[in-house]
Amino acid sequence: MMILLQFDSKTVREPVISQTTLEKKTLINIIRASVGAREGELIIEVDDSRADEIIEFIESKGVKVTKIYEKIIKDDEKCVHCGACISICPVEVFRLEYDYRVAADSERCVRCGVCVTVCPLKALELSKI
Amino acid sequence: MTGKSIEEINRRISEGSAVVVTAEEMKEIVEELGEEKAAKEVDVVTTGTFGAMCSSGVFLNFGHSDPPIKMKRIWLNDVEAYTGIAAVDAYLGVTQISDKLGMEYGGAHVIEDLVRGKEVELKAESYGTDCYPRKEIVTEIALEDLNQAEMVNPRNAYQRYKAATNSSNRILRTYMGTLLPNYGNVTFAGTGEISPLNNDPEYRTIGLGTRIFLCGAEGYVIGEGTQHSPPFGTLMVKGNLKEMDKKYMRAAVFPGYGVTMYIGIGIPIPVLDEEMARFTAVRDRDIETEIIDYAIPRRNRPVVRKVNYEELKSGKVEINGEEVRVSPLSSYSIAREIMIELKKRIEKGEFYLTSPVKRIPTKATFKPMRQKEIVVVRNLMSKAISIPENTTIVEASKIIIDKGVNHLPVVDESNTLKGIVTSWDIAKAVAKGKVERVSEVMTRKVITVYPDDPIELAADKLRKHNISALPVIDAKKKVLGLLSSEDLSRLIVKR
Ligand code: SF4
Ligand code: SF4
């Protein structure tokens, strides 16, 4: 499961991720990070079955946690099913259906954002959290 | 071989008895019945394509203002159109980009906005004449305000196209979409076996005057397209923008490349005889093209491999023993909708077939541009003085002084490039002492050029990497020569 962590000026200086890894003996995959001097945002991926206890632990450190459900969104009004996105996505979110329409299995999306800049019809958008 | 005429087929259409099938259905029918029976059974095959067609645009006539103006330059929503044709006529090309928004918005977007019924700002300026005194005008126009809005596309409906990949280590943004580094993906255009020209490869029925489906309107082929070179045939087409449907046309932006327009074209093919039945039974596996490497920014991009449309459409092709994912760029799904829509219109008696007034050439070549002599690296490079890796610093400094050079490529026994040392590297090594062999101080990641690279590319590399010489190598990394900035400056003297 993918989780958004928002750090404020205080928590941004704490080694929260390392603490979580050590304390909870779990692997954490950092998907995206933007960390500044006064605040930061991280998107991490954790094991689904342990998500709740990990979230609880991170929250106890004062970090704001949001579960990410929605990922890439394809606007079917705009999409012309050209398929330019298919070979670009690192985790094969897009595929041609039996009727040659392009379908998105957004559950797999790791929010890398590559496809958003590739679609010639601007039909792809990362959902707001 | 018994045949039927287009008049006969049209009579059946008017009687409602014509048998019309899509190109997709035709393949199955011929497989099942054979060519002879299929030719008797089927009257018309509908084909379709929906892809980015840069070579498109519209002629617009705005009518006269009061007092009148002879438009010298005009802009529609800040996108410039060409007006070197009479006072209030203009041609707006789809790839023209906005003066204000750049690549975000272009001619294609203006055309789509017009078709969607939106108002567009028209701005024009002029020098003023006795008959056209007005010097500028700014107004709003909609599609219905125009006298004519005629789409005229110099090159559409490519029969087939070369597929693209990228051998370099950086992302390329091209008109073939985004190409990932190190053969990360392949992209291709065209709809293969359902595409119009592939179903009439001898251009027996598609020619000047053929009535077609163009973005939902009734359009016409007005000749072969520019760059027509069979089997990479193309068509020039026209149709009334006012009758077009937004469903079958779409403005698009290829990131880093620019604006283009997805255009929908459907062409009905009369099954006049067995030969036409055979043509319309063509399969993707019979339609061959090449995958070419867009990393080489030259006119003749290297061919990576041959490929057919069946392999491309499977979503994966093999390059150098590895599986590479493929993206189509044309929409098979909308091309199919077009085939089906055209089939319906013919069945309902709303669309009749025409015989071409004149056929388009089955042989033509696409010539390159005539340019002033192209100077390539080979023309300017000088002899390289290469040294083996175990050369000592003392020996190297002697060579540099004796030969009066600044760069020594370092090679192994088979003359394969391993590194490069400059006089500066040697001087530093001498000053420091302790260093013995050139292999300890040489630069191992060497920036190189090929003998057939244009010198502009070499100059660009020198500037980008802030260096003063480039070893010239062949595909096996063998050193053929050296190109230094002094060699390049000789060119300026020569010219
Ligand atoms: S690149 Fe855009 S328009 Fe093309 S199939 Fe993907 S989402 Fe649809
Ligand atoms: S954001 Fe990245 S992972 Fe998600 S669909 Fe787009 S390319 Fe795939």
- The three-state (H, E, C) secondary structure of B15-33, written as one string: HCCCCEEEHHHHHHHHHHH
* Cβ atoms within 10 Å of A91's Cβ, excluding its own: 10
- What confidence score (pLDDT) does residue B81 get? 98
Single-letter amino acid code for the residue at A121: L
Cα angle: B107, vertex A102, A94; to 5 degrees: 110
Contact B425, B443 (CB under 8 A): yes
Beta strands in B184-309 (DSSP E): 185-188, 207-208, 211-214, 217-224, 235-240, 249-254, 258-270, 288-293, 303-308
Q: Which one is predicted more confidently, A28 or B79?
A: B79
Same-domain pairing of A6 and A63: yes
- What confidence score (pLDDT) does residue B80 get? 98
Tokens for B381, please give them.
Answer: 């490079």
Contact B11, B270 (CB under 8 A): no
Contact B94, B259 (CB under 8 A): yes
* Inter-chain touch A84–B187, beta carbons under 8 Å: yes
Which element (helix H / strand E) includes B326? strand B322-328
Confidence class for position A49, pLDDT limits 50, 70, 90:
confident
Same-domain pairing of A87 and A58: no
Which residues, including other chains, have CB under 8 Å from residue B102's CB and lie 6 or more apart? none
Rounded to an integer, what distance in angstroms lies between the CA atom of residue B130 and that of residue A86?
Answer: 59
A90 alpha carbon – ligand 2 mean position (Å): 7
Mean pLDDT over all residues of chain B?
Answer: 94
- What confidence score (pLDDT) does residue B186 get? 97
* Cβ atoms within 10 Å of B352's Cβ, excluding its own: 17
Tokens for A70, please give them.
Answer: 């929605």
- What confidence score (pLDDT) does residue A70 get? 62
Confidence class for position B108, pLDDT limits 50, 70, 90:
very high
- What confidence score (pLDDT) does residue B142 get? 97
pLDDT for A69 beyond 60: yes
Rounded to an integer, what distance in angstroms lies between the CA atom of residue B122 and that of residue B60?
Answer: 12
B13: exposed, middle or buried (Cβ count in 10 Å: 0-12, 13-18, 19+): buried
Report, as an integer, the average pLDDT of B358-369.
86
pLDDT for B2 beyond 70: no
Same-domain pairing of A61 and A98: no
Q: What would the 3-class secondary structure string for B164-215 be?
A: EECCCCCCEEECCEEECCCCCEEEECCCHHHCHHHHCCCCCCCEECCEEEEC
pLDDT for B145 beyond 80: yes
Give the CB-side neighbour count of residue A77, counting CA atoms within 13 A. Answer: 0
Report, as an integer, the average pLDDT of B166-187.
94
Same-domain pairing of A78 and A31: no
- What confidence score (pLDDT) does residue A129 get? 53
Same-domain pairing of A43 and A100: no
Same-domain pairing of A15 and A58: yes
Report, as an integer, the average pLDDT of B341-355.
98
Task: Examine the fold and report which residue of A48, A68, A88 is the final residue of a domain before the chain moves on.
Answer: A68
Which element (helix H / strand E) includes A44? strand A40-45
Same-domain pairing of A52 and A8: yes
Distances (CA, A) of A20 to A17, B194, B455: 5, 56, 56
Q: How, if at all, do strands B407-411 and A102-104 pair?
A: unpaired
Closest Cβ–Cβ partner in A82, A88, A92 for B331: A82
Rounded to 10 degrees, the C-alpha dihedral B380/B385/B387/B393 comes to -110
User: Domain holding A117: CATH number?
Assistant: 3.30.70.20
Task: Examine the fold and report which residue of A68, A96, A111 is the final residue of a domain before the chain moves on.
Answer: A68
Q: By C-alpha distance, which of B257, B246, B232, B250 is closest to B331?
A: B250
Tokens for B474, please give them.
Answer: 């062949």
Q: How many domains does chain A have?
A: 2
B131 is catalytic: yes
Rounded to an integer, what distance in angstroms lies between the CA atom of residue A102 and that of residue A82?
Answer: 8
Tell me the three state secondary structure of residue B341: helix
Rounded to an integer, what distance in angstroms lies between the CA atom of residue B142 and that of residue B83?
Answer: 19
A88 alpha carbon – ligand 1 mean position (Å): 11
**Residue A96 in contact with ligand 1 by CB distance below 6 A:** no
- What confidence score (pLDDT) does residue A112 get? 83
Tell me the three state secondary structure of residue A20: helix
> Whole domain around residue A95: which residue ranges?
72-126
Q: How, if at all, do strands B163-165 and B288-293 pair?
A: parallel
pLDDT for B82 beyond 90: yes
Task: Examine the fold and report which residue of A68, A87, A116 is the final residue of a domain before the chain moves on.
Answer: A68
- What confidence score (pLDDT) does residue B492 get? 66
* Inter-chain touch A81–B333, beta carbons under 8 Å: yes
Same-domain pairing of A12 and A57: yes
Same-domain pairing of A57 and A78: no
Q: What is the largest CA-CA distance in chain A?
A: 53
Residue whose Cα lies nearest atom 3 of ligand 1: it is A79
B196 and chain A: CB distance < 8 Å anywhere?
no
B63: exposed, middle or buried (Cβ count in 10 Å: 0-12, 13-18, 19+): exposed
Report the chain A residue with the minimal C-alpha distance to residue B51: A82
- What confidence score (pLDDT) does residue A39 get? 86
**Residue A93 in contact with ligand 2 by CB distance below 6 A:** yes
- What confidence score (pLDDT) does residue A100 get? 92
Confidence class for position B365, pLDDT limits 50, 70, 90:
confident
pLDDT for B495 beyond 60: no
Residues B37-77: tens digit of each pLDDT: 999 999 999 999 999 999 999 999 999 999 999 999 999 99
Residues B237-267: tens digit of each pLDDT: 999 999 999 999 999 999 889 999 999 999 9
Q: By C-alpha distance, which of A107, A108, A103, A109 is closest to A123?
A: A103
B333 contact residues in A (CB cutoff 8 A) = 80-81, 99-102
- What confidence score (pLDDT) does residue B494 get? 52
Rounded to an integer, what distance in angstroms lies between the CA atom of residue B304 and that of residue B386?
Answer: 32
Rounded to an integer, what distance in angstroms lies between the CA atom of residue B125 and that of residue B139?
Answer: 12
B328 contact residues in A (CB cutoff 8 A) = 82-83, 86, 96
Same-domain pairing of A47 and A83: no
Rounded to an integer, what distance in angstroms lies between the CA atom of residue B112 and that of residue B121?
Answer: 14
Same-domain pairing of A39 and A78: no
Report, as an integer, the average pLDDT of B194-216.
97
Lowest mean pLDDT among A31-40, B104-113, B291-300, B447-456: A31-40
Q: Is the dihedral of CA B74, B79, B82, B86 positive or negative?
A: negative
Residues B260-312: tens digit of each pLDDT: 999 999 999 999 999 999 999 999 999 999 999 999 878 888 999 999 999 99
Residues A78-108: tens digit of each pLDDT: 999 999 999 999 889 999 998 899 999 988 8
Q: By C-alpha distance, which of B327, B283, B266 is closest to B192?
A: B283
Residues B466-476: tens digit of each pLDDT: 999 999 999 88
- What confidence score (pLDDT) does residue A98 get? 87
The single residue listed with the structure tokens 């789809």 is B94
Report, as an integer, the average pLDDT of B346-373.
89
ipTM: 0.74
Which residues, including other chains, have CB under 8 Å from residue A81's CB and lie 6 or more apart? A100, A101, A102, B331, B332, B333, B334
Q: How, if at all, do strands A29-35 and B288-293 pair?
A: unpaired
Percentage of chain B exceeding pLDDT 90? 86
Q: By C-alpha distance, which of B233, B235, B214, B206 is closest to B223?
A: B235
Tokens for B434, please give them.
Answer: 């302790």
User: Domain holding A43: CATH number?
Assistant: 3.30.70.260
* Inter-chain touch A87–B333, beta carbons under 8 Å: no
Same-domain pairing of A10 and A41: yes
Report, as an integer, the average pLDDT of B384-413.
93
Percentage of chain B exceeding pLDDT 70? 99
Q: For residue B172, give how far its alpha carbon lies from the nearest alpha carbon of chain A (Å).
A: 11
